[in-house]
Structure 1
Amino acid sequence: MSLSLRQIRYFVAVAEHGSVSATAHAISISQSAITEKIQDLEADLGFRLFERHSRGVELTLKGHQFLRHARKILTDLQDARRALRGEIVEGGGVLSLGVTPLVAGYVLPDLVTGFSGAFPETAIDTVEESGQQLEHLLVGGELDVAVMVLPVNMIAPALHTELVQVSPYRVWLPLGHRETRKVRVSLKDLADTPHVLLTVDQVAQNIEAAWRELGIRPTVALRTSSVEAVRGLVATGGHVAIMPDLTYRPWSLDGDKVEARMIEEQLPPMEVAVAWRHGFPLSPTATGFVATATTRNSTRRR
């Protein structure tokens, strides 16, 4: 049996809605018909696309990987139809993109390079704001897509989100600190050392939540929105910091060394995702950006 566009469309729709029943309601097709097409598609591909559970379905690893290809197939078909009708010019236009602060400094350059390589004629208009403000701009239609750090347990029914990068937290230590002898460092063993807290993209809130759970209250020497200020204070000795790994660089601006160690306790990692307005189809340009951005990570978050 060969793949059909109907199978691919149903698969993408179920992946977007998170359940067969919600998909059936949205596109006015019976659940049995959708389930049959998905099962036929899985049989043809030779692997499972979804894990079924009581709350709906969840993409498998192979399902995540195939989703990108499926979206590209549908986008390419739509672009071909429009191009043959003379409705679009390949690769033109402007992409309105929002980013949060850490994304702007540590994720955006790679994303822009990858996207511009695939869409060299498309200009990118970028705005940096907090995650909350970006959500307002997306819902208001002022942005095509945004790349943002997701708050822990974020609930944003107005948005679709798809993971771009997952970054665990690590402890930053000055060269020669007693804890650098360890492979993993307990946050409890750093309770007597002054900390520097980064105040952007929920970092400080996440760290303070971890402290409360552990029953510790370290001294906070400085709260700052500058990653380089954190790096500099740690490197010169006397301070430590808990930072997402995507921000780590081993040297301060003055050339002093910063060590990083894994954390013994379990902290939720930082998740960076591309987001767009729920219920509104992406333009071909925005679809292309999502496709290039999500190649950084094969795991999708709804």
Structure 2
Amino acid sequence: MARSPSLRKLRYFVAVAESGKVTQAAVDLNVSQSSITTGVREIEDELGVKLFDRQAQGMVLTREGTRFLDRVRHVFQAVDEAFDSTRVHSPTLEGRLDLAMSYTVAGYFLPPLLAQFQRRYPGVTVRLHEASRPTIQAGLLGGRFDLAIMLISNLEPGAPLAQHLLIRSPRRLWVASHHPLHGRRDVGLADVAREPYIMLNVDEAEQTALRYWAPSGLGPQTLFSTSSVEAVRSLVASGSGVSILSDMVYRPWSLEGRRIEHIDLADPIPTMDVGFAWDRKRALSPPAQAFRDALIEAMAAG
């Protein structure tokens, strides 16, 4: 009887599929590259199919690999739901949580974590509010919001809010797989400044970008400014321009199925930091405290 791949190997496979590189998957999972390579090959041997085309630019999913990735994601969702349904829940915790969030958090970070919390605490009604940083800050201080998950790296120094960091997401240069900068060593902002630039303008991304460009004395040649991450992805993948965005919103494929690569830059680029914020002068309500503790626990568990 064929042996089933372990969940650990499946996590290796998903990490490689999402990053397109064994080196990046090893960094993301904090394991050796040889462990990743061996794990993926063992899955391919056990399945009897080729999941990746190994190219100079990285690991590209085959058609069978793409189908397998979709099924593996369902497996991990089922595992999460099984653990959540078996844990000792707190049916006595009731109340309402007014949770604010920024655009990026709403689209690329919160949904699976929110679903886990709602299964664990069915008596808590969560009301979601997507808003800009100034609106979130005013809402927390004015009592409209109980808690926020936002880009705390965008908060002004001395902001009267308590904070708790959840993740630091590195920013890298996004280019098309056929772009001349892909594969070059020591790519810096001077190289990027010569390229057409696709600027994302949500969650103060444009203001943040101009701040880290300023020390170089250079600036991006903005071809297009947009609030759509998918538009950035498509334009970069087609070779129309380049962009610098965080790993949290990175996906190796555009909607059209074109490949996107991301490159470490030689110049220092600040991370995008996601975390909790709340009014330091007010104690968190029981639902807000439970939500904060549950997400911290989930992030620590990986």
Decide which of 202, 223, 237 is 1:200's aligned counterpart.
202
RMSD of the TM alignment (CA)?
Answer: 1.9
Identity %: 34
CA apart distance, 1:183: 5.9
* C-alpha contact (below 8 Å) 1:97/1:144 kept by paired residues: yes
With the length of structure 2 as denominator, give the TM-score of the two structures. 0.66
Distance 1:107 1:245 in 2: 11
Q: 1:289 to 1:190 in 2, by over 3 A?
A: same
Partner Cα distance (1:122, 1:216) in 2: 50
Shift of 1:192: 1.0
Q: Which residue of the partner structure matches residue 256 of structure 1?
A: 258
Report the alpha carbon displacement of residue 155 of structure 1 after superposing the two structures with TM: 2.5
Residues 99-143 of structure 1: CA deviation (Å, up to 9, x unaligned) = 011011011113202322331322210010001101111111111
1:278 Cα shift? 1.2
Gapped regions of structure 2 (runs ≥ 5): 1-89
| Residue of structure 1 equivalent to 2:84 | none
Measure, in 2, the Cα distance between the counterparts of 1:291 and 1:111.
12
The aligned residue for residue 289 of structure 1 is 291
1:171-212 Cα shifts (integer Å, max 9, x gaps): 100111111113653121121110011111122112112222
Gaps of 5+ in 1: 1-87
2:75 pairs with 1:94: no
Structure 1 runs of 4+ with >4 Å offset: none
**Equivalence for 1:103:** 105
1:186 matched residue in structure 2 = 188
- CA deviations over 1:228-267 (Å, ceiling 9, x no partner): 1110110111300000110001111111111111121111
User: Within 2, Cα distance between the matches of 1:100 and 1:123?
Assistant: 20
Go from structure 1 to structure 2 and tell me whether the alpha carbon gap of 1:110 and 1:117 turns closer, same or farther (over 3 Å shift). Answer: same
2:136 corresponds to 1:114:
no
Checking the alignment, whether the CA contact within 8 Å between 2:91 and 2:122 is kept in structure 1 is: no
- Comparing 113-122 and 206-215, the one that deviates more: 113-122
Q: Is the 8 A contact 1:139 1:277 kept in 2?
A: yes
The SS at the match of 2:178 is: coil
Q: How far, CA to CA, are the matches of 2:240 and 2:100 in structure 1? A: 37
Distance in 2, Cα, partners of 1:153 & 1:289 = 21
> Residues 130-149 of structure 1: matches in 2 within 5 Å?
130-149=132-151
The whole-number CA distance in structure 2 between the counterparts of 1:258 and 1:206 is 22
| Structure 2 CA distance for partners of 1:197 and 1:295, relative to 1, 3 Å | farther
Work out which of the residue numbers 231, 234, 254 in structure 1 matches 2:233. 231
Question: 1:183, 1:105 → 2: CA distance?
Answer: 32
In the alignment, is the contact (CA less than 8 A) between 1:131 and 1:150 conserved in 2? no
Partner of 2:139, secondary structure, is: helix
Aligned match for 2:160, one of 150, 158, 161: 158
Task: State TM-score, norm by structure 1.
Answer: 0.66
Give the residue type in structure 1 aligned to 2:141.
V
Asked if the contact 1:183/1:261 (under 8 Å) is kept, the reply is: no
Rounded to whole Å, the distance in 2 between the matches of 1:151 and 1:110 is 22
- Secondary structure at the aligned position of 1:178 is classed as coil
Is the contact made by 1:92 and 1:122 (CA closer than 8 Å) also made in structure 2?
yes
